[in-house]
Chain A
Amino acid sequence: MRRYFPLMATFAVLIVLFGTASAMYDRFFTARVVANLFSDNAFLGITAIGMTFVILSGGIDLSVGAVLAFTMTFVASMVTEHSWHPVPAISLALALGVALGGGMGFLIQRYDLPPFLVTLGGMFFARGMAFLVSAESITIDHEFYTALQDIKIVVGPKAWLKAVALVFLSLLFGAVSLAHWTPFGRNIYALGGNESSARLMGLPVARTKIQVYALNGFCSALAGVVATIYMGSGNPAMGVGLELDAIACVVIGGTLLTGGVGYVAGTLGGVLIFGTIQSALIFDGRLNSWWLRIAIGVLLLIFILMQRQLSRMSAPTKN
């Protein structure tokens, strides 16, 4: 039970935060705000899920925002400018995401390069390619997209989960299962926990490492696809700095950057904490640009410290 304490700490922080905001702002405590949290943060959440796996394996990936932008632009360009049907365009985009992620994983694994730098290269590369595909944002106008955008599950008065939120939640479910129920998931934990041990235990370390980055490439590309559904457009300048937000969500969710320790479900908590802080500040609406930045920083600080304190209290005491 104690192993789940950091996870509970994250959700306790979330509840405190949400409760405070509800007490301070009218109409905050509504199903609509909650549903919005899932829709508006869907693609951030998806990149954060991919990032969780990378961080669990002891790595990091800075390319997610740029890969998202590339995917968006690619899909939009194919559909609008080259009249492809969205399905093949999306499939190809996802495959490209996997290929780019896998390629970075290959470089990191085979040549023992620092992930920070390789993925930094990947970030510049994907961003450049996004602009190469189209320097301007492109509207996607296709009945397939309209159909996707019309999918809604009503969860309350004036509140519904949209397709993007459903993709996010299904991926979350899949990711939790992947992490917990499959050998691949457990190998990631082992790899991040102790790489040399994992190697000596005969686990497929090299393959797992490459697969983790490929998986994250897939998640980033999927996030890009979800963003096209969310916005109905492709924008090559999208997602600048998204990688840092994703990393922050993962860490707030209780996953250690050193690898091997953490939960995908915690990342959900991290994303929701992040989203709730933003929502609360929007509801407040009285801060000017600079106070807004300071407030985000201060709130991040407070909730990171709180999460840290809670999980410290619950950390297994070694004898």
Chain B
Amino acid sequence: MSEPLLQMRGIRKVFPGVVALDDVDLTLRAGEVHALMGENGAGKSTLIKVLTGVYRADGGETSLAGAVINPGSTLEAEAAGISTVYQEVNLVGSLSIAENILLGRQPRRFGVIRWGETRRLAKRALARLGLELDVDAQLDSCSMAIQQMVAIARALDVKARVLILDEPTSSLDDQETAALFKIMRQLRDEGLAIVFVTHFLDQVYEISDRITVLRNGALVGEYETAELPRLELIGKMLGRKPEIVDHAAADGDDGGESAEELLAASGVGRKGSVRPLDLTIRKGEVVGLGGLLGSGRTETARMLFGIEPPDSGSLRIGGETRRLGNPRKAIASGLAFCSEDRKGEGIIPHLSVRENLILALQASRGPIRLLPRAEQEELCAHYIKALNIKTPDAETPISNLSGGNQQKALLARWLALQPKLIILDEPTRGIDVGAKAEIEKLVRSLREKGMAVLFISSELEEVVHTCDRVAVLRDRRKVGELTGSEITEQRIMQLVAHHE
């Protein structure tokens, strides 16, 4: 390999009260994919923000192709050849695709934007990624995957030498991920240095050449991917030997058929959203919803929970026919729903962990009968301990917690209600390995307590070893159902892929 393209040496960054980065190094070579690994709070984002000029380092030095750089803004970083695509796609949803790619550097003549040229350039930038899109479409109306691609197209459009991809695959399905990897390889071969931040171990091994691991703001080490076994990597990230995940859990009992039927949907659908489908969920059962992103998984969940209520078919819960016109009715019928959009539809950011935790329970009690303070605190203490929520205390605003801990607090919000069925939409997205394992374990323990779970995840592996039964969706239509030992990644893929 060639000599380093970019070197960061002894980077230090301090926030009031916290040392976010302490003596961290990062070396990138031209033509490599470099995975940056670490649990949430390890300092990955801070390091990237230093690299891209969002923050200024309090110590250390960064050099690009031999010259010391000290970007004071993202614009300066971009000018130096360092471009970034952030985890939550940082584009402007209300503008068109073309604008999002070229915002800030539109082609102009006499200060006037040349829209025709703008469109052409945008099309060209997308073509480089093998995409052909209507560049006049409003970004909001596109899927997350497209938005991600647009963000990459934007990042590449400047003459980038270093491309930073922060969790680019967390909202992509397998096919889209594969497409992204193809592009990444192509770019690597063109000589770009790509920093790849992700929580997906599989993807790290699939695409990266080298790995830098951070923990608690400090450098753990730099490794060749091929020489670092998976378990060791996890061990380095966690700073301990990881638990071996119990893969056999789901195979244990196949006899769910005899259990009491909890929810039975027949012909439930909604125009323009999900075709009518049948679905049965029994007590103590984890049912997965499989399928690609955009196949109707989330839409089905939202429909069952009454957010966008169904307009056809009938729904029986506990043997009684119910019409769930809104979330309140769904909750009253014993349903709970954890949205995939933790920030937008989950947490109440400025309220404390305690208030977030009791919210659903309190809502069900109505506005007058406040849950006594002592009970609130007891409840919080219980769940903070049971779910291992890492927070200074229950009065801390929930937005101060890391993503994984926010997710656990949201789960606690629903568990406090003791629902009969909990719908989890991508509960492990964008959270670190440790928290992920804990949430998977929690799901299994819920089943043992007789609670039913509807589980949605983009990670097939997770679906396979968590669910008792999997309903597979394709193009907003249910295309099959797998039970017990039928549930394998292979079978799900077949159902998703095949036209019958």
Contact = CB atoms under 8 A, between A and B. Distances in A.
Interface of A: 3, 177, 180-183, 186-187, 189-190, 193-194, 196-204, 260-261, 316-319
Interface in B340-354: none
30 contacts: A180-B113, A181-B112, A181-B113, A182-B108, A183-B108, A183-B113, A186-B99, A186-B106, A186-B113, A190-B92, A190-B95, A190-B103, A193-B92, A194-B90, A194-B92, A196-B90, A197-B90, A200-B54, A200-B74, A200-B84, A201-B90, A201-B103, A202-B73, A202-B75, A202-B78, A203-B103, A260-B92, A260-B94, A319-B273, A319-B294
A200 B86 contact: yes
Contacts of A193: 92-95
A187 B106 CA distance: 11
**A177, A198, A199, A202 — which one has the most chain B CB atoms within 10 A of its CB?**
A202
Contact of B92 (A183, A189, A202, A317): A189
A199 B78 CA distance: 13
A3 B138 contact: yes
A189 B94 contact: yes
Contacts of A202: 73-75, 78, 104
Interface string B103-144: 110101001110100000000000000000000001011010
B272 interface: yes
A261 B94 contact: yes
Given A200-B86, A201-B90, A203-B103, 16 more contacts: A177-B112, A182-B112, A183-B106, A183-B111, A186-B95, A186-B113, A194-B90, A194-B92, A194-B93, A198-B92, A200-B74, A200-B84, A201-B74, A316-B141, A319-B141, A319-B273
A24 to B, nearest CB: 39
Closest 5 pairs (CB-CB, A-B): A202-B75, A193-B92, A197-B90, A193-B94, A202-B74
Given A190-B103, A316-B141, A199 B272 contact: no
Contacts of A261: 94
Interface of B: 54, 73-75, 78, 84, 86, 90-95, 99, 103-104, 106, 108, 111-113, 115, 138, 140-141, 143, 154, 272-273, 294
A81 B86 CA distance: 60
Is chain B's binding surface mostly helix, strand, loop or mixed?
loop
A183 B84 CA distance: 21
B104 to A, nearest CB: 5
Contacts of A189: 92, 94-95
A199 B52 CA distance: 12
A197 B141 contact: no
A202 to B, nearest CB: 4
B93 A317 contact: no
Contacts of B111: 182-183
A175 to B, nearest CB: 14
B18 to A, nearest CB: 21
Contacts of B75: 202, 204
Contacts of B90: 194, 196-197, 200-201
A317 B273 CA distance: 11
A76 to B, nearest CB: 35
A317 B86 CA distance: 26
Nearest to A1: B136
Contact of B272 (A181, A182, A201, A317): A317
A247 B273 CA distance: 37
Contacts of A200: 54, 74, 84, 86, 90
A284 to B, nearest CB: 40
Contact of B104 (A3, A180, A194, A203): A203
Contacts of A187: 103-104
A193 B73 CA distance: 20
A139 B354 CA distance: 65
Nearest to B141: A316
A202 B140 CA distance: 20
A261 B112 CA distance: 21
Given A183-B108, A200-B86, A316 B138 contact: yes
A319 B143 CA distance: 8
Contacts of A190: 92, 95, 103
B140 A318 contact: yes
Contacts of A319: 141, 143, 272-273, 294
Nearest to A2: B138
Contacts of B141: 316, 318-319
B108 A201 contact: no
Contacts of A197: 90-92
A194 B344 CA distance: 14
Contacts of A198: 92, 103
Nearest to A262: B94
Nearest to A199: B74
A201 B104 contact: yes
Contact of B103 (A186, A260, A316, A317): A186
Nearest to B111: A182
A106 to B, nearest CB: 19
Contacts of B95: 186, 189-190, 193, 260
A190 B94 CA distance: 8
B464 to A, nearest CB: 27
A181 B99 CA distance: 12
A260 B103 CA distance: 14
A199 B294 CA distance: 30
A296 B99 CA distance: 40
Contacts of B92: 189-190, 193-194, 197-198, 201, 260
A194 B91 contact: yes
Contacts of B84: 200
Contacts of A260: 92, 94-95
B91 A182 contact: no
A316 B73 contact: no
B140 A316 contact: yes
**B78, B90, B99, B154 — which one has the most chain A CB atoms within 10 A of its CB?**
B90
B49 to A, nearest CB: 10
Contacts of B91: 194, 197, 201
A52 to B, nearest CB: 15
A177 B113 CA distance: 10
B74 A182 contact: no
Contacts of B106: 183, 186
Contacts of A182: 108, 111-113
A186 B140 CA distance: 17
A63 to B, nearest CB: 27
A203 B93 CA distance: 15
A141 to B, nearest CB: 40
A189 B104 CA distance: 12
A261 B96 CA distance: 12
Nearest to A56: B94
A149 to B, nearest CB: 34
A199 B272 CA distance: 36
A260 B294 CA distance: 27
